[in-house]
Structure 1
Amino acid sequence: MNCKGVIVAIILLLGACTPEPKTTKEDTGNLDSLFVAFYDFQKKINPIEATKAGIDTFNDTIVNYISDSHQEYLRESYISFLSELEKYPMSELTKEDALSARVMEWDCRMKLEGLNNSIVTMASPIYNLPSFELMPLFQIQSLHLYVAQLAGGTSVQPFVTQEDYANWQHRLEDYLQFLDTSMEHMREGMEKEIVLPKVLTLKMLPQIKAFLDVPLEENLFYQPVLNFPETIDEDVRASLKSDYERMITEKILPKYQELHQFLEQEYLPACRDTDGLSALPNGRETYNYLIRLHTTTKMTAEDIHALGKQEVERITGEMEKVKEELGFKGELKDFFIEVRNKKELMPFNDPAEVLEHFNGIHERLSLELDSVFNLRPKAGFHVKRTEAFREASASAEYVPGSKDAKRPGTFYVPIPNAKSYNVVHDEALFLHEALFLHEAIPGHHYQLSLQQENKKLPEFLHPENMGVFVEGWALYAESLGKELGLYEDPYQYFGMLSMEMHRAIRLVVDTGIHAMGWTREEAIAYSLAHEAESEEGIIAEVERYMATPGQALSYKMGQLKILELRNKAKMELGPKFDIREFHDQVLGYGSLPLMLLEEKINSWIASYK
């Protein structure tokens, strides 16, 4: 169906749901239909997210989300949904429906504002992050990296049936079209001087080159036909192998060769030497929008910058206490080096030992979960080593299981070198307990699994789509270590402080780069002065902030709001306060903008009083 046809279909569907002025049971059903229509729309515009959720309807599709026709479709659709929402006065809805409607309204308004911006386009298929119309590719969290992850056959893209293998081929055809559009838009960006920093483009070149310099059998796009399930017949296997070889040699590799040549010979010479978004036309206004989008607050860059420095100072004081407890006599910066190079914190000889250590943390905290949580997800959970092709530059991450809980959630751990794990990688041993709490349990695995398993929620609230809540909860989860029987080792508690410091520094550095005129080098120097991170890790992080402005603010802003609400509830409820009930309230309604979360918790407190 063409773009206009889809718009007409949605308008017809929404038009059939028009309610009477007063809300009745029948009207609630109509509102439910609107929620269903909005979720169907979300799946269509982000089919990879649908695949992640275990929905196979769109497994053969990648949306060319930077195309002009798609952006116009989005713009008209969001306007239409907002128009329909106006037919349901919030005061006449149930508390639950009103909250859902307000989340939907917030999402539509923010996305519409982004579409009307001259730099931002809309959420890409990667973690629902905003993308840039004229800068669609970058060195981290970019579609070309995520497609490579799917291509290996061990991620969320299914390779079980012959249809699955065919679906992936169709999806790759869409991907190739996206790469063509990307190069067209990047050439337009060169004319308008809206281009990436040169240092980021340099990081992309080896990523693309890696696919051109390996034999066919080692190419990630060929791996699915080297690992057929037993259910696929031999004659079908032979045919699929031939199809995949032809697809790779005649389409994928030539396109990657074209992309590499474009980036190296055309784009790189036109790239800018500046680092922040404010150096671009309309850049500061765009960054202000991204702050609102990622934090769901009205705080300014200056406010967040000052808050970040305040948090850095507070956490530094806590780190000093741990240093003194351990009897270290030097400066805190020297203690960072001591921790990073301490032999006792490098006990691993092979990757299996690293995974076993994380599983041990899981077993220990499981003994205390009932004292802190009522809610438990149905989805299973396992720890897995990050795939080799992206391990060297990857961070630990969580990938949710499917909505039906048949596919477990996965905590991916990169282990490029187990013996020097503590020195060269940012997921060092002294960070393990806090890292597990954040990425796994009770962080992302609990929150995201409970969200998509909650049948009381409209389905549009099931996906991972509100970073300030998702990441804010995960950072808050790190603070629960002592309540869950962890952080008995001072080094592990120092690790928690280190991870919190890392997120506090982000408030300073992200705003510094994009609003205060900081250079990449100034941001690196500030980070090195205040945390135990390796220089290699800090450089990668700073370049991440350069590529995804504002996203790094979400962690700390969300955590601080949850801590604020917990302290308020504890103070006002006194002996009636139950941490398990508080967590029920936070986790029981999916991801919320912070102002709606605050209203919800305040209402819960008032119900007791």
Structure 2
Amino acid sequence: MALHLACTTNSTSVKHLFLSATLAAALLGPLMSHTAAPAAADSPQLAALFDSYWDERARLYPVEATGQGDNRYNDQLPNDGTVAHRAAQRQFFEQYLAKLKQFDRSKLSDNDRVSYDIFLYEMQMRLEGLRQNSWMMPFTQFSGLPIGLAQLGAGSGNQPFKTTQDYDNWLSRVRVYPVWADTAISNFRRGMRAGVVLPRPLVEKMLPQLQALVTPDPTKSIFYGPVAKFPAGVPAAEQQRLTAAYQQAIREQVAPTYQKLHDFLQNEYLPKARTSTGISAVPGGADMYRYAVRYWTTTDKKPEEIYQTGLAEVKRIRQEMEKIKAETGFKGDLNAFFAYLNTDPKFMPFKTADEVLGVYRGIQAKIDPNLKKMFGRVPKTGFEVRQTEAFRAASASAQYNRGLADGSRPGIFYVPIVDATKYNVTRGMESLFLHEAIPGHHYQIALQQENEQLPKFRRFAFYSAFSEGWALYTESLGRELGLYTDPYQRMGALNGEMHRAIRLVVDVGMHTKNMTREQAIRYMMDNRAIDEQAATAEIERYMAWPGQALAYKTGQMKIISLRGKYQKQLGSKFKLSAFHDQLLQNAAMPLDLAEKSMDAWAATQK
């Protein structure tokens, strides 16, 4: 998820930037950390600026607002691919950048300086993102509105379906979808003329996805979910009206629009799709990638530096894998061990999807006693494990969808299970749960959203390097949480870490070094236990989403280094639970700013 919107990105402009995956308040829980929580802003004027920004932002990005529990604009679906909408975004961020610069940073409190620095970074990066040509590739097999709309319309996602007004809101929103799709097709055509087009293998994956959402019978559509089972809050008379309206919308707006997108891609776009792999092959692609690296890692690291880090980490983790292979007594080289893990029937014991989900729920119960020793603060937001919807399971990764702090929507760990009998326990089920669920994404995102003493732009911020870095860091806590007692689960955890190290190599390799899709797939299969289908889906994800895959290892290594630094500085005064609580209380932010903030905390612990 990866946190793909589910691990939602923070704005439509950035979703268009590199097509992030998903479309994207309670009373503050008891604060049990060792320092007081910061105020939203000590300066009333700065607080007013942040409040105004967040209020206006919701109008500009109503689908994102829905994902954050702001339901004021649930009936709106902006045509965000237009020149006018991009101009409105640019004007919005320029306006707030200018307002921020009216404040004298040196006269602000320490807490306000942190918020000032994050806000400044955010405005500058958004404006630079709007200068990229990624709007010419409005969606992919991995992300964008066609997938996100189905998740919203299914009735089990971010869009609420509790009242008659909720149902009418969705009808208003979905009726605009044909207009959005026409703009997307126009932008694809602009890209075709400019040479800014998607790789052919990605387009080939998009075709069956779109076709699967075209159903002759509206009652068989995923969009029929909300009217298949009405809540008690919708009167019987309204249910009859809405059922007819939903059938009509599916027949006349939804299905024809998906068919139109499918036919355009198949007949016009696919013949023009590129045979090259990396983004550097398109005009302006090198600049697009440099920006993507800065955006997703929140650092100034150069692609070559990241590539070399990846090579070193792959070498180190292979050595750890060799030790586990020897421990199990397996005879053969590491690649033979990978093949054994991928194919031996004993590692695929499941008959049903419920059995797979049951193992993940059992992991949650197992770690619960030790969690209390490592975290002083835990979320109030509920949590569930669910199977990924069938229409997107084949190309989906396991992911986390954020809940709402008011309890109206839990955090959800989605597990894609295409065929339960082929679901392999050596994939690292324990480490995957730590990452995508608890204490990874769920703790970090839920605690951040519940912290009402932060300004909303920080409560609902998502910086992949921080959030994904935290989630990958939590995988290293497995032993301390009572997991990884089995060598194959330890191998699974190493597999997961190796996966993120491989990403540094193949992402930079494909987008700057002419590494082909096929070479990247082979490199992944040579260095971790993964079958060809899964490796292909991963590599094609990085093709669709340049730079995002660099965030995980970059963030993890920063958090590990911070923990080590403060353990050395503080000695016996270092408390792991205090470190975790403070890091999560500060909320997601660019990595350099996170280090400055944690340095200030460490100084108070001495």
TM-score normalised over the length of structure 2:
0.91
2:85 maps to 70
In structure 1, which of residues 57, 76, 97 is the aligned counterpart of residue 72 of structure 2? 57
Paired residue for 1:93, among 108, 118, 124? 108
**Matched-pair contact (CA < 8 Å) for 1:345–1:430:** no
Structure 1 residue 264: Cα displacement: 1.0
Among 333, 336, 339, the residue aligned to 2:335: 333
**Contact 2:567–2:574 at 8 Å: present in 1 too?**
yes
Residue equivalent to 1:486: 483
CA distance in 1, matches of 2:601, 2:224: 53
Provide closer, same or farther for how the CA distance between residues 32 and 542 of structure 1 changes in structure 2, counting only shifts above 3 A.
same
Structure 2 residue 598 is matched with structure 1 residue 601: yes
CA contact (8 A) 2:379 2:450 kept: yes
In structure 1, the partner of 2:442 is 445
Distance in 2 between residues matched to 1:209 and 1:102, nearest whole Å: 45
* Partners of 2:223 and 2:250 within 8 A in 1: yes
Name whichever of 41-50 and 495-504 sits farther off.
Answer: 41-50
Pick from 472, 492, 496 the counterpart of residue 493 of structure 2. 496
Taking the aligned partners of 1:259 and 1:26, their CA distance within structure 2 comes to: 46
Which of the numbers 581, 586, 589 marks the counterpart of 1:584?
581
Helix, strand or coil for the counterpart of 2:213?
coil
CA offsets per residue over residues 128-187 of structure 1, 9 Å max, x none?
xxxx21110211022101111111111121111111111111111232221111001111
Matched, 1:454 2:456: no
In structure 2, what is the equivalent of residue 21 of structure 1?
none
Are positions 1:475 and 2:472 aligned together? yes
- Give the whole-Å Cα distance in 1 for the aligned partners of 2:409 and 2:251: 32
Tell me, yes or no, if the aligned pair for 1:442 and 1:477 is still in contact at 8 Å: yes
1:541 alignment counterpart: 538
CA distance in 1, matches of 2:575, 2:135: 47
Q: Give the match for residue 80 of structure 1.
A: 95
**What is the alpha-carbon distance in structure 1 between the residues aligned to residue 253 and residue 382 of structure 2?**
38
Tell me the secondary structure at the aligned position of residue 86 of structure 2. helix
Match of residue 553 from structure 1: 550
8 Å CA contact 1:292, 1:299 repeated in 2 = yes
Q: Distance in 1 between matches of 2:60 and 2:471?
A: 27
Question: How much does 1:78 deviate?
Answer: 1.1
> 1:386-397 to 2 correspondence within 5 Å?
386-397=388-399
Shift of 1:442: 0.3
Partner of 1:114: 129
Give the aligned residue type for 1:90: R
Match of 2:54 among 21, 39, 42: 39
How do 1:165-564 and structure 2 match up within 5 A?
Answer: 165-422=167-424, 428-564=425-561
Aligned-partner residue type, residue 583 of structure 2: V
More off after superposition, 283-292 vs 89-98: 89-98
Give the number of the structure with larger relative contact order, counting CA–CA contacts within 8 Å between residues 6 or more apart: 2
How many equivalent pairs are there? 567
Query: Which residue identity lines up with residue 490 of structure 2 in the other structure?
Result: Y
Deviations 1:80-134 (CA, angstroms, capped at 9, x unpaired)? 11111112222211111111111111010001111123x1xxxxxxxxxxxx211
**1:414 & 1:200 partners in 2: Cα distance?**
19
Matched residue of 1:457: which SS? Answer: coil
Match of 1:28 among 16, 40, 43: 43
- Please say if residues 387 and 416 of structure 2, whose CA atoms lie closer than 8 Å, have aligned partners that are also in contact: yes
Residue type of the partner of 1:112? L
Shift of 1:587: 0.5
Which one-letter code corresponds to 2:373 in the other structure? S
Amino acid at match of 2:517: R
CA displacement, residues 363-395 of structure 1 (integer Å, 9 cap, x when unaligned): 110010121111111111111122222223322
State the distance in 2 between where 1:540 and 1:165 align.
35
Aligned-partner Cα distance in 2 for 1:532–1:593: 32
Paired position in structure 1 for 2:8: none
Secondary structure of the residue aligned to 1:517 is coil
Distance 2:56 2:330 in 1: 57
| Separation in 1, partners of 2:408, 2:274 | 47
SS of equivalent residue, structure 1 residue 484 = coil
Deviation string 1:394-430 (CA, Å, 9 cap, x unpaired) is 22111111131332211111222222211xxxxx454
Q: Secondary structure at the match of 1:179?
A: helix
Work out the CA distance in 1 between the residues paired with 2:144 and 2:82.
16
Native 8 Å contact 2:430 2:483 kept in 1? yes
Give the match for residue 13 of structure 2: none
Give the whole-Å Cα distance in 2 for the aligned partners of 1:166 and 1:250. 16
Task: State the distance in 2 between where 1:416 and 1:254 align.
Answer: 27
The superposition leaves residues 3-42 of structure 1 with CA deviations (integer Å, 9 ceiling, x where unpaired) of: xxxxxxxxxxxxxxxxxxxxxx998111100011121233
Deviation at 1:508, TM superposition (A): 0.4
Write the distance in 2 (CA, Å) between the matches of 1:342 and 1:253. Answer: 42
Q: TM-score, normalised by structure 1?
A: 0.91
Of residues 445-454 and 63-72 in structure 1, the stretch that sits farther from structure 2 once superposed is 63-72
2:157 is aligned with 1:160: no
Secondary structure at the counterpart of residue 382 of structure 1? strand
Larger displacement relative to structure 2 (286-295 or 385-394): 385-394
SS of residue paired to 2:377: coil
Matched, 1:135 2:137: yes
**Higher mean Cα deviation, 136-145 or 335-344?**
335-344
Secondary structure in 1 aligned to 2:43? helix
Aligned to 1:127: none
- Whether the 8 Å contact between 1:464 and 1:470 is mirrored in structure 2 is no
Q: Distance in 1 between matches of 2:251 and 2:427?
A: 45
Where structure 2 has 5 or more consecutive residues not aligned to the other structure, the ranges are 1-39
How much does 1:73 deviate?
1.1
- The amino acid across from 1:347 in the alignment is P
What is the CA–CA distance in structure 1 between the aligned matches of 2:542 and 2:395, rounded to whole Å? 15
Distance 1:284 1:162, change over 3 A: same
CA distance in 2 between partners of 1:352 and 1:209 (Å): 28
Secondary structure, in 3 states, of the residue corresponding to 2:349?
Answer: coil
Contact 2:177 2:253 in 1 (8 A): no
Q: CA RMSD in A?
A: 1.5
Of 507-516 and 63-72, deviating more is 63-72
Q: Is the 8 A contact 2:209 2:391 kept in 1?
A: no
Distance in structure 1 (CA, Å) of the matches to 2:553 and 2:55: 32
Partner of 2:570: 573
Bigger mean CA offset, 272-281 vs 598-607: 598-607
Q: Cα deviations across residues 505-550 of structure 1 (Å, max 9, x unaligned)?
A: 0000000011111111111111111010111001011111111100
Question: Is contact 2:393–2:417 with CA below 8 Å preserved after alignment?
Answer: yes
In terms of mean alpha carbon deviation, does 194-203 or 499-508 score higher? 194-203
Mapped contact 1:345–1:429 kept (Cα < 8 A): yes
Q: CA deviation at 1:214?
A: 4.8
AA in 2 matched with 1:470 = S
Partner secondary structure for residue 222 of structure 1: helix
Q: Is the 8 A contact 1:558 1:594 kept in 2?
A: yes
Aligned residues with identical type, % of pairs: 45
Compute the displacement of 1:502 (Å). 0.4
CA contact (8 A) 1:365 1:486 kept: yes
Shift of 1:285: 1.1
SS in 1 for 2:290: helix
**AA matched with 1:606:** A
Gaps of 5+ in 1: 1-24, 120-131, 423-427
